[in-house]
Structure 1
């Protein structure tokens, strides 16, 4: 009978007691260290410290060797004794220079992200545009002088401004649903680069905690909880560029700390018509250690920017000498936007490897953009300028429970589960025809959007020998409401939809320095509410079916290699074209690719990295030769070298390359590729750092964004379809001075 009861306990309770080592990781000041790796070299078991620094490592025996590692800290090794199994231990990690040997390959689905984090630490981002470039294979382009969100390219997707990449900052979503300019619009300019702690990412739809827009991948930025030192920095450069940044410790004691950060950025850009660009960022963070192994983190931030833009220009205007590459056809484009955020994070250690993490946010966002893509095609008298506008309030919350110390029979068993919601209230979402940013000529679309997304997810990790199996499932519910203010009568429409997204990932780790993985899963991105109601709720949550097969190996302490074969199939979808207020079907697509990367640190002061990505992207419902996906990149490559340490001379050089790619469905119009190199040089003495930053070191002539567009210039009798582009930045030099205290 007792054996029967034990079996029932395993089956229904899912956990039995096991020997473990538990404790807390702190730095030299006694502050908890989050997300440090704890790895049992003897058994292969691993764990991570939670938000309060606590950890539990199961299936541990006397004389086992355990590694405690975290980037930026010297790795500690501990041989377990009997006392360690009986009482909690405290491990103090000592700060150290960033090194690849601090990375331990563990059986986790986002293991590559932990390797690439070395890139961020050894060569921190120097501008908001560089944030997303840290993700291998992710290419960005700006075509509104830094005012709009960047155009994104990843895994053969022209992601536009975020349709197929889910972007978060400390769990708060950045992508905007049913946005005035485009679905998934993700403007990251409210993030001050120096406040970033790390960039976590994953490619493909394999992550249960990531929902809407996670098809090609996701990016989650984590901000610093506290500052080691206060900092002031100023930059002066070409094209009237000025940047002032400050981060100040305002509170630092045993139980709490707080800091303020701010940024002011001004530039005219390289264009003949000055951009008059200005952006201001303000952020404050307060962390409080509550009794009972709890942590409370409150973040408040505000961002605002205004700009003028020269817009995309047709190639023929440059070829005919009408304008230069940095000239304009319509220089009355531009806009303004702002975002105010309040985020509350609460972490609680529940003991024995269990933790509860809750976050809630509320954000106010507004957006106004003036553009002219076709010049005089539609209106030969007034021109084709359009205005896109919205005023949005978004709010949401998420709670996640994790148990990193459970057993199921002879297997190590970890699991997590979470619930959450997001609500968007968008007022006066509109598209209008305007003249000179002053006169309203005609409204093309005008209405209010209310969209709710509630969700639940659960996942587990079963480790048996050298294999780890990770099944997971996610359920999303959407409600779409739209009030059409263009109608003479009250016109309110609603639709509901549910998305079911299963995942299953397998990791095989034959040694502590080698792993192979097979990831499978279904993801989705929602469509614009105006599409949903127009199509009666049909085919409005297109699914993405993905498979990744790859490996990460560490043949030496300071060398990591990775390679992946992958494929992704995207269902039929309907796309709302925000620039024209029309709905277009896009059909089924298939993408296949290969990715390879390498990171090498032969010396403490020398770090090299490179990533290469090849993709074949095709529509599956078009005839051969007419099945190209416009602007989908087929080959991209990025890499760099970083030299030096904390004192004396340091610097680096990095490059990015994108091949020629089709700009239309039959490849008759080609978007030209480019190879661009950036560099920086610094000299540090005591608490001062003097630096030079050079973008486009070799003054390459390149086009940052390109589109196949039909347009007509003033007095042209006919329209032409050809490449319209925004020129890439020429040689661009800035000087920088930073002081810490």
Structure 2
């Protein structure tokens, strides 16, 4: 009998091993929703295999030693588990593992090296899980160190601040949604204009961000950093949401699955997302703001090797605005804190996006991703910053307008290989973007109807071709080096319809980069990054300069680490330096070019996440910077409006059902408003809060912005202006008042 068992074992063990070895990879799925789980970390017993699941929940087992069948799986928001590959569900040459969702515990969060993770991914995963994004402004506030300000009604893109930059509306930070660029080149209002209002917050799935010019796949505008938003591929539940707030504020959101899941594994999805938003706002003159959003998205598995994602989304919005008001008018009692000098500002905008993305898993273990996208974008904005300075009779109202077609293609190849006996991963790709901007206009107007003077009017055609290569080399299980390089080519054409001129230019730039990551142990990861980046300049500038000095380089370095201190504290800190060859931008409000010269910024970032007690979490973000202009006298080297100190943080109580809530603060320190710091933009400190009660069928919530109803200036500028009854102009702070106490009630029904 023993001999028969021995003979049977001799035959069964090889069969068992061959069967396991034939597994190409594993799909990780949520046990409840049956949908893919990304960012799952898989480690074998000796930790020489570490890999993270992608957005389809897929992990390739190429290079896995099948002599040991055990794998250890962990993911933020899921139970940490051990699996035997011989016992998992299999289909053909891949397997399925189902993970049990749970409220995250920081004690279970592990710091491991992985191929695709950036240093902030753990922080981002924690934040999304604990503090879901509930409004359009929180989309950007979810990024530590990124501040926003609104100064022309809710329909205009927010002003952005990060790492000592007032990046206006996006000049030095690149934003994208599902691979579609948000920043607009050669925009009517200014270079890099990034309007994120076409995204419905409830359908954000991931926020991937990092800081500095260190990432080869990121090109234009990535000097201070980048933020990539990914929308959901699957909708867990149908839902309808209604919000009612002060100042005649109403908002409705609908999410509706159009395909039913008939399998244990949800392999495809089609859902509809819509949003309608109305408000008069808190200004004395009603904003009459309305915004409509919609998205129809498909995601599905075509076959064993190919996944297709396609969607159409649309935004339409219009609003009135009270603009920026001067200190002297408020102090004299001419207008109130929420009043206006010219309440005939405002605008309208629309954006319609279409994208198709095909992700293919190749037989050699590589991954090939191809995406095409198209955006139809229209913009019309009326502003008045100087009132009667330039035109004492009609006033200084301006119109900025454009009609844009944006075309693009992204292609990326990823492959794990052996390089000189070392584990390595190649990531290479090409990116093509073409902007066709028609009737790009800057005009002086009166009451939005009468054009008094045309300042700029023409068509822009701008093409950006980028290619990048990155090679991550693991010198051992704890230390990796990633050299990379990027090349960008720009072709700029401007048809000046006022001067009847057609101008052309081209330019290019190489951007080498190097990243070093060292895992000291399970509690400490250290890193040092070095890189060159850039931001392009408006085509109307590039053609005048004949393509020379219009891609000013930025050189940066970061030294930092992420630390697990004890069981319940995660800390990320960095010291950084960034040098810019030229802050050279087109000022859309005046149709002029400003050369800021060489600048440098240095600073410290600190990010902390702490589990106070079961279900209680605290977070803290602090960014301190010293921005300075170079080659100018020391008493005149301040960079106007560049932030020196910003901080956000709060306390969150999080459970799957029952009461949930958070109390959060925003702190912006004082900033110089001009080059010699004789005019100061005052900082502010504001508290916000949210309380929800959640069941499986419905959720009731109350949120309050500016709980203590403090008076604060959201955006500020040192502007020279003249009021109608003034004989001379005055230069002083002009500001947009921040939100007063603003309460809102919401109800969500799940079905």
Same topology, TM > 0.5: yes
After superposition, the C-alpha distances for 1:112-156 in whole angstroms (9 at most, x for unaligned) are 133232112211112101111111100000011211100000000
Q: 1:635 to 1:573 in 2, by over 3 A?
A: closer
What runs of 5+ residues in structure 2 fail to find an aligned partner? Answer: 1-20
Residue from 344, 347, 358 that aligns with 1:332: 344
Residue from 54, 59, 63 that aligns with 1:55: 59
Secondary structure of the 1:188 match is coil
Matched, 1:264 2:276: yes
Task: Tell me, in whole angstroms, the C-alpha distance in 2 between the residues paired with 1:722 and 1:286.
Answer: 52
Shift of 1:83: 11
Task: Tell me, in whole angstroms, the C-alpha distance in 1 between the residues paired with 2:646 and 2:658.
Answer: 34
Matched, 1:238 2:246: yes
Provide the residue aligned with 1:386 in structure 2: 398
Residue from 84, 91, 98 that aligns with 2:104: 98
* Contact residue 55 and residue 353 of structure 1 kept, 8 A: no
Provide the residue aligned with 1:186 in structure 2: 194
Secondary structure of the 1:531 match is helix
Residue from 196, 205, 210 that aligns with 1:197: 205
Q: 1:395 to 1:161 in 2, by over 3 A?
A: same
Provide the residue aligned with 2:9 in structure 1: none
Task: Tell me, in whole angstroms, the C-alpha distance in 1 between the residues paired with 2:738 and 2:723.
Answer: 23
Provide the residue aligned with 2:446 in structure 1: 435
Residue from 146, 168, 174 that aligns with 1:166: 174
Matched, 1:68 2:73: yes
Task: Tell me, in whole angstroms, the C-alpha distance in 1 between the residues paired with 2:675 and 2:34.
Answer: 59
Task: Tell me, in whole angstroms, the C-alpha distance in 2 between the residues paired with 1:350 and 1:35.
Answer: 21
Provide the residue aligned with 1:491 in structure 2: 501
Matched, 1:208 2:216: yes
Residue from 607, 624, 633 that aligns with 1:597: 607
The CA RMSD over aligned residues, in Å, is 2.0
- State the TM-score, normalized to the length of structure 1: 0.94
Task: Tell me, in whole angstroms, the C-alpha distance in 1 between the residues paired with 2:201 and 2:187.
Answer: 25
After superposition, the C-alpha distances for 1:340-378 in whole angstroms (9 at most, x for unaligned) are 000111111114542111111001000000000000111
* Contact residue 21 and residue 60 of structure 1 kept, 8 A: no
After superposition, the C-alpha distances for 1:673-723 in whole angstroms (9 at most, x for unaligned) are 000110011112341111101000111110000000000101101111100
Shift of 1:250: 1.1
Provide the residue aligned with 2:82 in structure 1: 77
Provide the residue aligned with 2:417 in structure 1: 406
Provide the residue aligned with 2:560 in structure 1: 550
Provide the residue aligned with 1:4 in structure 2: none
Residue from 609, 622, 629 that aligns with 2:632: 622
The equivalences for 1:171-570 within 5 A come to 171-253=179-261, 254=263, 255-351=267-363, 353-403=365-415, 405-465=416-476, 466-487=478-499, 490-570=500-580
Q: 1:266 to 1:431 in 2, by over 3 A?
A: same
Task: Tell me, in whole angstroms, the C-alpha distance in 2 between the residues paired with 1:79 and 1:119.
Answer: 31
Task: Tell me, in whole angstroms, the C-alpha distance in 1 between the residues paired with 2:109 and 2:418.
Answer: 26
Provide the residue aligned with 2:25 in structure 1: 22
Q: How many residue pairs end up in the alignment?
A: 721
* Contact residue 690 and residue 736 of structure 1 kept, 8 A: yes
After superposition, the C-alpha distances for 1:471-497 in whole angstroms (9 at most, x for unaligned) are 11111111000000011xx41111111
Shift of 1:504: 0.4
- State the TM-score, normalized to the length of structure 2: 0.93
Secondary structure of the 1:120 match is helix
Shift of 1:30: 4.5
After superposition, the C-alpha distances for 1:640-668 in whole angstroms (9 at most, x for unaligned) are 11113122211111111011010000000
Task: Tell me, in whole angstroms, the C-alpha distance in 1 between the residues paired with 2:156 and 2:101.
Answer: 38
Task: Tell me, in whole angstroms, the C-alpha distance in 2 between the residues paired with 1:735 and 1:83.
Answer: 46
Secondary structure of the 1:739 match is strand
Task: Tell me, in whole angstroms, the C-alpha distance in 2 between the residues paired with 1:315 and 1:553.
Answer: 46
Bigger drift between 85-94 and 501-510 goes to 85-94
* Contact residue 356 and residue 371 of structure 2 kept, 8 A: yes
Bigger drift between 50-59 and 550-559 goes to 50-59
Bigger drift between 20-29 and 341-350 goes to 20-29
Shift of 1:561: 0.7
The equivalences for 1:652-663 within 5 A come to 652-663=662-673
Matched, 1:34 2:38: yes
After superposition, the C-alpha distances for 1:231-266 in whole angstroms (9 at most, x for unaligned) are 111011111100011111111335421110111110
Task: Tell me, in whole angstroms, the C-alpha distance in 2 between the residues paired with 1:357 and 1:106.
Answer: 26
Task: Tell me, in whole angstroms, the C-alpha distance in 1 between the residues paired with 2:329 and 2:517.
Answer: 54
What runs of 5+ residues in structure 1 fail to find an aligned partner? Answer: 1-17
Provide the residue aligned with 1:674 in structure 2: 684
After superposition, the C-alpha distances for 1:157-209 in whole angstroms (9 at most, x for unaligned) are 00000000000001100000000000000000000000000111010001111
Provide the residue aligned with 2:121 in structure 1: 113
* Contact residue 25 and residue 49 of structure 1 kept, 8 A: yes
Task: Tell me, in whole angstroms, the C-alpha distance in 2 between the residues paired with 1:368 and 1:124.
Answer: 32
Secondary structure of the 2:648 match is strand
Shift of 1:102: 5.4
Task: Tell me, in whole angstroms, the C-alpha distance in 1 between the residues paired with 2:113 and 2:185.
Answer: 34
Q: 1:66 to 1:684 in 2, by over 3 A?
A: same
* Contact residue 342 and residue 384 of structure 2 kept, 8 A: yes
* Contact residue 23 and residue 94 of structure 2 kept, 8 A: no
Secondary structure of the 2:391 match is coil
Secondary structure of the 1:322 match is coil
After superposition, the C-alpha distances for 1:292-347 in whole angstroms (9 at most, x for unaligned) are 32111111100010000000000010111111110000000000000000011111
Task: Tell me, in whole angstroms, the C-alpha distance in 2 between the residues paired with 1:260 and 1:59.
Answer: 40
Task: Tell me, in whole angstroms, the C-alpha distance in 2 between the residues paired with 1:275 and 1:214.
Answer: 34
Task: Tell me, in whole angstroms, the C-alpha distance in 2 between the residues paired with 1:82 and 1:675.
Answer: 55
Shift of 1:63: 4.6
Provide the residue aligned with 2:17 in structure 1: none
